[in-house]
Amino acid sequence: MKTMFAAGLAVASCATIAQAQQVQPRPAPALSSAAPQPVFTLDQAIVAAGGVAPAGAAARAAIEAAQAGRTVAGLRPNPVFQGQVENVVGSGPYRGVRSAETTVGVAIPIELGGKRGARVAVASAQVSRAELQTAIVQADIRVQVTQLYVAAIAAERRLATARDQARIAGDVLRGAAVRVQAGRASPLERQRADVARINADATLERLTRLSEAARTNLARRVGRSIEDALDDGLLDRLPTATFGPAAPLKIAGTLALAAADADLTIADAGIRLARANRVPDINVGPALRRLEATNDTAAVFAISIPIQIFNTGRAAVAQASAERTRAEAVRRVTALDVEQAITDAQVEVENAATSARAAAGPALTAATEAARIARIGYREGKFGQLDLLDAERTLAETRVAAIDALATYHNARAQLERLTAPAPGTTSEGFDQ
């Protein structure tokens, strides 16, 4: 009977010791003679998402609309055809149409005050703003896809950890059953192992759904199904350890500040347009008049100038000036907000990197070694089942904590890159890989 017990427990422990010696949160896949599975990289996901994202299509349509608006702004006013009949359907000699005077001509509006140039300036500024908005949308898509990609990798790693824990829980249950059958332990030990196995299976089922959901969300964002493997090594890329506060990053040229500057430029152009609109336009029009009574024709030249009594344009100038003041204030607020956001993001990135290095390094190594010792001690009868279950639970929690810490670092890094993303035509200082 002792021989059977030793053989059964040896089988259970050998399968777990190999797993305990792994240092990384997820064990390396077994070598196979088959060709390696293609990898769907993060860059490929970003490119694919950029082509199908509704926000990208909306931004491109906004550019086309702004460019069409600039074309419209540069057009001159259309001439107006005018026709007039006088001295008809009256009394005496003006009865009927015998004394009619028919005038036909064209009125040509002439814009004064530089209105056309001011309109084009506003429209050009709006085109630049629309192009900048496209860059902002692309940066947003990049950070969204990065977070979904990291979430999918992290979910697969948690699932792999859950599979390992479910397998270990099954091994512990079989070992406990052998000990109980051999009279070396009470039935309570088998019941505890069975509870641990049930919980491990439930966790495995739950994480399987979460992993499938994470990959589905990523596939929905990139607009295609993802059958290839993901770049699992992306999660393990951490910067080298640094000490002290991070060097401040400059906000000049960032997308957020460039957008505020573009809005200020539009407001400045709006003031110039409002002032130009205060200058009245004139309408000139040559025409021909036919005198029905004598069957003669004569040339007519008309000119009209509006009298600015009720609308002098001052209110429009005041409105544009107030809009410019608002845009300038928003620009100052944006600068402060961006500086604060970048500072907070830098700290978050550094802290996340520190936590990830600790969780995926010394903490995981110590938990793995503790679980290995607990398994050996339990097999040799030096440790109780509670010690083994506690070591296994600690190892599982440490692995999950390491995965969470790595995912948090990459998400924080993506947010910082979004905040410091340079506007088109500018450069921005980054940080070390």
The reply to whether 333 falls in a domain is: yes
In this structure, the answer to whether residues 86 and 174 fall within a common structural domain is no
- The C-alpha atoms of residue 177 and residue 187 are separated, in whole angstroms, by 8
Q: Quickly count: other Cβ atoms within 10 Å of residue 421's Cβ.
A: 22
Contact of 273 with 298, CB cutoff 8 Å: no
pLDDT at res. 186: 79
* pLDDT, mean of each 10-residue run, the chain (433 residues): 36 36 41 67 92 90 96 93 84 74 90 94 96 94 95 95 89 82 81 88 95 95 91 87 62 90 96 94 89 84 89 93 96 94 92 89 86 81 77 86 93 93 70 40
State whether 295 and 395 are in the same domain.
no
Please check whether residues 69 and 85 belong to one and the same domain: no
Threshold 0.85, pTM exceeds:
no
342 and 255 in one domain? yes
Q: Are residues 237 and 378 in the same domain?
A: yes
Tell me, yes or no, whether 255 lies in a domain. yes
Asked whether the beta carbons of 187 and 180 are under 8 A apart, the reply is yes
State the total domains in the chain. 2
Whether 101 and 223 map to the same domain: the answer is: no
CATH of the domain at 369: 1.20.1600.10
Compute the distance between CA of residue 46 and CA of residue 146 in angstroms, rounded to an integer.
8
pLDDT of residue 265: 96
Q: What does the alpha-carbon distance between residue 93 and residue 101 come to, in Å, rounded to a whole number?
A: 13
Q: Are residues 377 and 285 in the same domain?
A: no
Q: What pLDDT shows up at residue 18?
A: 36
Q: How many CB atoms lie within 10 A of CB 205?
A: 11
Check whether residue 149 and residue 95 sit in a common domain: no
Q: Considering the domain boundaries, does residue 44 fall inside one?
A: yes
- Among 266, 290, 312, the domain-final residue is 312
Q: What CATH code is carried by the domain that includes residue 82?
A: 2.20.200
Question: Do both 219 and 127 map to the same domain?
Answer: yes
Q: Are residues 355 and 345 in the same domain?
A: yes
- How many residues make up the chain in this entry? 433
Say yes or no: 388 and 342 in one domain. yes
Examine the domain organization and report whether 249 and 387 are in the same domain: yes
Residue in 203, 199, 237, 231 with CA at minimum distance from that of residue 218: 231
| Domain end call among 292, 312, 332 | 312
Going by C-alpha positions, the residue among 97, 10, 98, 54 that lies closest to residue 223 is 54
Cα–Cα distance for residue pair 130/62, rounded to 1 Å = 6
Which range marks the domain in which residue 92 is found?
78-110+279-312
